[in-house]
Structure formats: C-alpha cells, structure tokens
Chain A
Amino acid sequence: GQNIDQPTEMTATEGAIVQINCTYQTSGFNGLFWYQQHAGEAPTFLSYNVLDGLEEKGRFSSFLSRSKGYSYLLLKELQMKDSASYLCAVPPPFSGGYNKLIFGAGTRLAVHP
C-alpha cells in the first residue's frame, strides 16, 4: 500500500523561505506530484518529480530522494498569496496511464507580514 506523511500546518514570514516536507512509502514508485490549493478553490498543479534531485521553477522548487522516500517543496521570497494548502501525491503502483493519485493530508501554510 501507500502511505504519505506531511506536516499539518506551518507558518512563515513574508519574504522568507519555507520548506514543506513529504515522506512516502509505496511498493512501486511512479513519481511524486505537488499541488497547491487555496482555501475554497481547486487544487492546481505545481510540480512532478520522478528522478532524484532538485527541480526549480521560479520561486518554487521541488526535491526528490527516491532512496529515502522523501520530497520537499521549497518556497522562496514568500508572498501573502502563498498562504494555501500544499498537497503531496503519488500514483499507486501499476496504475498505468490512469493517473490515479494517492494524496497526503496536505500542509496548510500561513504567511504572515
């Protein structure tokens, strides 16, 4: 089966850097997704990692270590609009092209002035 763990809540200051961690256990790895969800809105795609290392996309970066079952999302130069929930998700093994996802409970980030 799959198990995904994320911290429930985090707080940070505007302009700072925050790292949101995600650990997963899966019997077969097919990559890891990060989504952002503002309160009352739809989740939106942030990143997909399937190889080890850091992928940078503007202020947001995502890191993966397959051997450790670990990923993190790094948010730099935090802005108030980054206050949202961040969802870590992995496809279950043998899900083929069906793109099913197993989600963690999400990390609610509050950015303060």
Chain B
Amino acid sequence: DVKVTQSSRYLVKRTGEKVFLECVQDMDHENMFWYRQDPGLGLRLIYFSYDVKMKEKGDIPEGYSVSREKKERFSLILESASTNQTSMYLCASSLRNTINTEAFFGQGTRLTVV
C-alpha cells in the first residue's frame, strides 16, 4: 500500500522559530512536492523536487526552503516562522516522466505560528 507520511499532524511554533516539516514516501517516487492549503485559496505549490538534491521553486517559495538528501525524504524548512505561515501543509509524491501520473498526498501538518 502506497504511503506518504508526514512527521506531525499538528504543530504549534512561536514567531521567529526555525521549523522543520518532514515527509517520507515509500514508493520510490522521483517527484516530491510541498503545498500549503488555505481556505478559499486551495493548494498552492511551495517547492518541488524531481531528484535527490534537486529542487525548484513553486508559486509561493518566499520564507521557505527545502532539503532532499535522500530520495524518500523531502523536508520543508521555515527559516523564521511568521504568523502568516499558519496553514495546512501537504506533502505529495509522484512518478516522473508520465504527466498523467497521480500524486499521492500525506495526511497534512496543521501548523500554527503564535
């Protein structure tokens, strides 16, 4: 059974803290993604990676960075958390080279920055 696992379901962090969100997939997928989901805005792409150590900015990368040291793991880093980064964060993975391939999502991490 395919699986994308995010390390935390709920997180509360203080403004200015450095925050790490971890995502692991067990499907040997090349592509991995980080989205944030906000009411009325839908899912917006923050960063994605198509291979180990490769990353590209999505639509809203400001205030975030990512790390992909191993194929199965993709980390999202909030360098200095701010209240406007309070959101639901969703990790996803997919096979590369087939545009109609579905993405598999993790359960999400609801982050609150206070």
Contact = CB atoms under 8 A, between A and B. Distances in A.
Interface stretch (B11-19, B67-75, B78-86, B90-98): B90-98
A99 B42 contact: no
B107 A41 contact: yes
A48 B102 contact: yes
A105 B43 CA distance: 7
Interface string A35-54: 00000111111001010000
A42 B106 contact: yes
A40 to B, nearest CB: 8
B53 to A, nearest CB: 16
A50 B100 contact: yes
Given A87-B42, A105-B41, A106-B42, A30 B99 contact: yes
Given A42-B105, A44-B105, A98 B42 contact: no
B45 interface: yes
Nearest to B33: A100
Nearest to A46: B102
A44 B48 CA distance: 19
Nearest to B44: A103
Given A42-B90, A98-B31, A103 B96 contact: no
Contacts of A97: 31, 50, 96-99
Nearest to A42: B105
Contacts of A99: 31, 94-96, 98-99, 101, 103
Interface of B: 4, 31, 33, 35, 40-45, 48, 50, 56, 58-59, 90, 94-108
Which 3 A-B pairs rank lowest in CB-CB distance, beginning with the nearest? A97-B97, A45-B102, A42-B105
Interface of A: 4, 8, 30-31, 33, 40-45, 48, 50, 87, 89, 91, 95-106
15 contacts: A4-B42, A31-B99, A31-B100, A40-B108, A42-B105, A42-B106, A45-B102, A48-B102, A87-B42, A89-B43, A96-B97, A96-B99, A99-B103, A100-B33, A102-B45
